[in-house]
Amino acid sequence: MKFTRREVLAQIGLLAAAGEAVPSAAPGPASGNSPSVASRADAPLHGALFWDDHSGFGPTPDYNLEHLEDWRQAGVDYLSIDVGYDVIDWTQAVRNLGAYITWLEKRPERFLLVRRADDVLEAKKTGRMAITFDLEGMDALNGDPSLVALYYRLGVRQMLTAYNKNNLAGGGCHDQDTGLTAFGRRVIAEMNRVGMLVDCSHTGYRTTMDIMETATQPVIFSHSNPKQLRRHGRNITDDQIRACARTGGVIGVTGLGYYLPDRASTVAALADCVTYVRDLVGPDHVGLGLDYSPVDLNDVAEFDALSGTKPDFWPPADYSAPWPMQDATPRVFAQLAALLHERGWSEVDLRKVLGENFLRVARAVWK
Ligand SMILES: [Zn+2]
């Protein structure tokens, strides 16, 4: 069943909160991000941009991208799709890109591969979901910084340094972090030159602090939660959050149960993380990178096989929860908006966290 954004808001009571009658949840013909659903009844969120800075499904060339409908039907306007991470061979990232570009280009009525930040707004205006790609780890470069420009031309708009474990560029968050290497510095400089957003998620503390000191453009954490709210190797300290904000960047709060104060991934737990970051560095530096993976049995089996053969990437002490975890789905955008609204957030700040902060950074960095 498809839901319009109005119906999603109605279900979670935001329309009632805005003084509107709550309609029955009849399925509508329009998808969540279609402009046809925008109406006065959406107040106070009329036309708000929903920006999800990172997908969480294991990227393979034959992954069924019809799952992107989970985002579209929740009214998400932009998604960065993960096409590679240090766990897989870099050549698979290239194959993923080939397969995803082909799939998306055959469906121009629903998706738009965007190049510039303002293309995201153009996609939203025409009822399509905007897509770019991201890489989790610089092993995807196979030791060659010139591949940054190549990936950029293929639609990759952000890359993080090291996925959990150390690599040629720097330290991972679950490893003995030795800092940003000379190779890592060359890559960061090349990313700044090309206009690819520098992401610090999954990367070790010292390496991230090195990056944020040397980067000449805003830096982000695409999907990382405050360590003060949950002690976990993947979560980040107040120091890291402040350093990110100083670059003009954004911290994307993630919806995975492992990293939230409440493993059931309640909306309240997500709201607490968002509020914590806002209280620490202000409303201009917090957004959402849900890391959501639609439930797919093949995907789960594949992850189990990978984590079994490569336990260093996911130390058992940190990843003991049964799979599949309880994670937030893209519908949390509307739910979170409703809860933060209830908690007294202004409409201006709500719009920032739902998407405008990441849009601002993309405008500043993408070329
Ligand atoms: Zn990740």
Q: What is the DSSP string of 308-361?
A: HH-GGGS-TTT--SPSSP----TTHHHHHHHHHHHTT--HHHHHIIIIIHHHHH
CA of 274 from ligand 1 middle (Å) equals: 18
Integer Cα distance of 164 and 266 in angstroms: 25
Average pLDDT over residues 295-308: 69
What distance lies between CA 181 and its chain's CA centroid? 26
Among 40-44, 144-148, 248-252, which is the least confidently predicted range?
40-44
- The Å distance, Cα 198 to ligand 1 centre, comes to 14
CA 126 to centroid of ligand 1, rounded, Å: 30
Give the residue-averaged pLDDT of 2-7. Answer: 38
Average confidence (pLDDT) over 336-360: 96
Residue 66: pLDDT band (50, 70, 90) is: very high
Residue 147 scores a pLDDT above 80: yes
Contact 265, 334 (CB under 8 A): no
**Mean of the pLDDT values across residues 183-202?**
98
How much of the chain, in percent, has pLDDT values that exceed 90?
75
For ligand 1, the distance from its centroid to the CA atom of residue 193, given in whole angstroms, is 24
* 133: phi then psi, degrees, rounded to nearest 5: -120, 160
Ligand 1 midpoint to CA 45 (Å) = 29
Give the span between the Cα atoms of 200 and 211, in whole angstroms. 8
- Number of C-beta neighbours around residue 342 at 10 A: 12
Distance 14 CA to ligand 1 centre (A): 31
pLDDT in tens, 73-90: 999 999 999 999 999 999
* Span of 34-38, 272-276, 291-295 with lowest mean pLDDT: 34-38
CA of 220 to the centre of ligand 1 (A): 13
| Percent of the chain with pLDDT strictly greater than 70 | 85
Give me the mean pLDDT over the 21-27 stretch. Answer: 32
CA of 254 to the centre of ligand 1 (A): 9
Q: 62 alpha carbon to ligand 1 midpoint, in Å?
A: 20
CA of 134 to the centre of ligand 1 (A): 10
Distance in Å, CA 88 to ligand 1 centroid: 13
The Å distance, Cα 187 to ligand 1 centre, comes to 20
- pTM for this structure? 0.87
- pLDDT for the residue 73: 96
